[in-house]
């Protein structure tokens, strides 16, 4: 294995990656060449029937307010939004009322500070490609990171040639030779950057961690109070799994009794139907996590800086725009999988409003519409009388895959969706000004042509 890994180590050292990143990738590569499948069979786990419910935590807001001075907010901000045709930080995408994800996150922190008189720090986990633009946006709001650095960088790792298991070479676009190692890299990146030590030295003991593209992931005082009083080292927010979540990671229990997380990439192919059984695997990981920073520091020390997170193996073409290009293997980990490493870790059920991700242009159209509004705390929440996240928006990928394509077809803004249950758009459909969609609607353009929905149309 040492000889096989040598070219990877050389490549990573030449790129200036820290020792902990090299050792972490070495552990993942060793598992790969040793035949690790990266799968987790249902024979190794059991369903979780019940977890504490956030609805029962009322009264813990005061404890949460007292814990604010020891709490930091961390946002995962390394994504580029390539699935929606973007080439820069996804968090800079305008999502509501002319504001980007990052604007909303910053405004939420500012509002939290004003309301409680506590300078809660905001820290980003950036990638090399998102750092400069994102930090430039944050400067509009002053120094939100307090005594801490405003961000730390996630690592990058080499992609592996599926044929031969060596480092892939792609001189035409060398950036395709690298990939992020999944958001499970947050733990090693916190350590190698010195940010974890800085947080502890400044007196911070708890971190609320979430994705920057989840509009529902705001610091909640009742949840913080519960986390502080329970003294659990690690907590995961989960929601009741629905049909829409059937392909997402679910909570499970190991045979030894601890909680664990299983992602769809870890599911054996012959168990896919069971994986998608939302009545059996009831709880969906929102990727909103609460972490005891001292417990994390101790766990990292116990494992020499490399947490033994389950391997996730993804295979894809080296050039995402060319399906015929050579196949590569990406080795990744999920940050939620760390729930299995902390004795006493817990999960807490939260309402759907705390999980409002924007992964597709359909999600973006729904959130930009009147089905959501901004409240006084700068949170994006379902509008009264609407279905919010339960609204299903299916846009034709051939005409709406990118943000640019969506905006070309909604030049006057999104249609009203507050009274919509489901909107299916097939073909090249273009929306006029003031269009209202109600109930369950399918719009289909003629083959080879387009459909113009006129100004003021009300369709139900």
What is the residue-averaged pLDDT of the chain?
95
Are 422 and 292 members of one domain?
no
For position 270, what pLDDT does the model report? 92
Claim to verify: residue 321 and residue 213 sit in the same structural domain: yes
Residues 414 and 335 in one domain: no
Domain that includes residue 343, residue range: 2-354
Q: What percent of the chain has pLDDT over 70?
A: 100
Q: What is the DSSP letter of 265?
A: G
Residues 60 and 180 in one domain: yes
pLDDT recorded at residue 1: 56
**Residue range 333-339: average pLDDT?**
95
The whole-model pTM stands at: 0.94
303 and 160, same structural domain? yes
Q: Where are the alpha helices (DSSP H) in 345-402?
A: 361-368, 397-400
Q: Residue 111 corresponds to which tokens in the numbers above?
A: 């509002």
Cα–Cα distance for residue pair 252/41, rounded to 1 Å: 11
Alpha carbon separation from 153 to 125, 143, 238, 366 (Å, rounded)? 6, 18, 27, 31
Cα 370 from Cα 387, distance rounded (Å): 11
What is the mean pLDDT of the segment spanning 206-227?
A: 97
What's the CATH code of the domain at 414?
A: 2.160.10.10
Confidence of residue 39 (pLDDT cuts 50, 70, 90): confident
Q: Are strands 122-126 and 151-153 parallel, antiparallel or unpaired?
A: parallel
What is the pLDDT confidence band of residue 22, given thresholds at 50, 70 and 90?
very high
On the question of pLDDT at 427 being above 90, the answer is yes
Average pLDDT over residues 37-65: 93
Q: Is there a single domain that holds both residue 161 and residue 231?
A: yes
Instruction: Name the more confident of 338 and 257.
Output: 338
- Pick the closest to residue 306 from 17, 76, 25 (CA basis): 25
My answer on whether 280 and 378 are in the same domain is no
Instruction: For residue 177, name the pLDDT band (cuts at 50, 70, 90).
Output: very high
196/205 Cα distance (integer angstroms): 10
Residues 384 and 298 in one domain: no
Tell me: do 240 and 316 sit in the same domain: yes
Judge whether residue 386 has pLDDT over 90: no
Q: Are residues 122 and 195 in the same domain?
A: yes
Which of 289, 320, 354 represents a domain boundary (last residue)? 354
Q: Which of 58-62, 178-182, 194-198 has the highest mean pLDDT?
A: 194-198
Domain-ending residue, one of 310, 329, 354:
354
Of 354, 374, 395, the last residue of a domain is 354
Domain count, the chain: 2
Report, in angstroms and rounded to the nearest whole number, the Rg of the chain calculated over CA atoms: 22
Q: In the predicted model, is pLDDT for residue 36 greater than 80?
A: no
| Residues 342 and 374 reside in one and the same domain | no
Residue 195 and residue 305 in one domain: yes
Residue 390 above 90 pLDDT?
no
- The enclosing domain of 182 has a CATH number of 3.90.550.10
> Which residues contact residue 270 at a Cβ distance below 8 angstroms, ignoring those fewer than 6 apart?
none
User: Where residue 80 falls among pLDDT bands split at 50, 70, 90?
Assistant: confident
pLDDT confidence tier of residue 425, bands split at 50, 70 and 90? very high
Longest alpha-carbon distance in the chain = 68
pLDDT in tens, 434-449: 999 999 999 999 999 9
Tokens for 317, please give them: 């073409």
């Amino acid at each position: 294995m040492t000889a096989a890994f040598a070219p990877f180590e050389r490549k990573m050292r030449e790129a200036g990656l820290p020792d902990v990143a090299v050792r972490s990738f070495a552990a993942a590569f060793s598992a790969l060449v040793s035949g690790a499948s990266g799968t987790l069979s249902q024979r190794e786990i059991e369903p979780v029937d019940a977890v504490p419910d956030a609805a029962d935590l009322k009264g813990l807001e005061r404890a949460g307010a007292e814990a604010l001075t020891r709490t930091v907010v961390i946002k995962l901000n390394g994504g580029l939004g390539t699935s929606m045709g973007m080439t820069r930080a996804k968090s800079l995408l305008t999502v509501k009322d002319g504001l980007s994800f990052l604007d909303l996150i910053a405004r939420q922190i500012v509002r939290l500070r004003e309301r409680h008189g506590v300078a809660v720090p905001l820290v980003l986990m950036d990638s090399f490609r998102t750092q400069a633009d994102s930090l430039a946006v944050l400067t509009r709001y002053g120094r939100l990171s307090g005594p801490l650095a405003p961000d730390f960088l996630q690592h990058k790792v080499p992609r592996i040639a599926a044929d031969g298991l060596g480092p892939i070479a792609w001189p035409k676009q060398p950036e395709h030779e690298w990939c992020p190692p999944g958001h499970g890299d947050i733990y090693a990146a916190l350590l190698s950057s010195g940010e974890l030590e800085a947080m502890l030295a400044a007196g911070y003991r708890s971190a609320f961690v979430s994705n920057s593209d989840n509009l529902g992931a705001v610091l909640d005082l009742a949840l913080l109070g519960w986390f502080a009083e329970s003294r659990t080292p690690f907590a995961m927010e989960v929601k009741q799994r629905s049909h829409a979540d059937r392909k997402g990671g679910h909570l499970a229990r190991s045979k030894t009794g601890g909680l664990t997380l299983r992602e769809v990439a870890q599911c054996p192919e012959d168990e896919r139907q069971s994986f998608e059984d939302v009545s059996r695997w009831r709880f969906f990981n929102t990727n909103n996590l609460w972490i005891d920073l001292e417990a994390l520091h101790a766990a990292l020390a116990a494992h020499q800086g490399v947490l033994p997170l389950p391997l996730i193996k993804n295979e894809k073409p080296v050039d995402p725009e060319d399906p015929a290009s050579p196949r590569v293997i990406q080795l990744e980990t999920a940050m939620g999988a760390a729930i299995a490493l902390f004795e006493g870790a817990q999960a807490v059920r939260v309402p759907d409003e705390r999980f409002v991700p924007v992964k597709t242009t359909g999600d973006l159209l729904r959130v930009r519409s009147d089905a959501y509004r901004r409240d006084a705390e700068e949170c994006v929440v379902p509008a009264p009388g609407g279905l919010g996240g339960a609204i299903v928006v299916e846009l034709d990928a051939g005409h709406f895959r990118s943000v640019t394509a969506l905006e070309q077809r909604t030049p006057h803004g999104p249609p009203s969706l507050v009274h919509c249950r489901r909107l299916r758009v097939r073909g090249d459909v273009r929306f006029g000004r003031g269009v209202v969609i109600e109930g369950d609607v399918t719009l289909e353009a003629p083959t080879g042509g387009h459909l113009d929905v006129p100004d003021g149309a009300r369709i139900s």
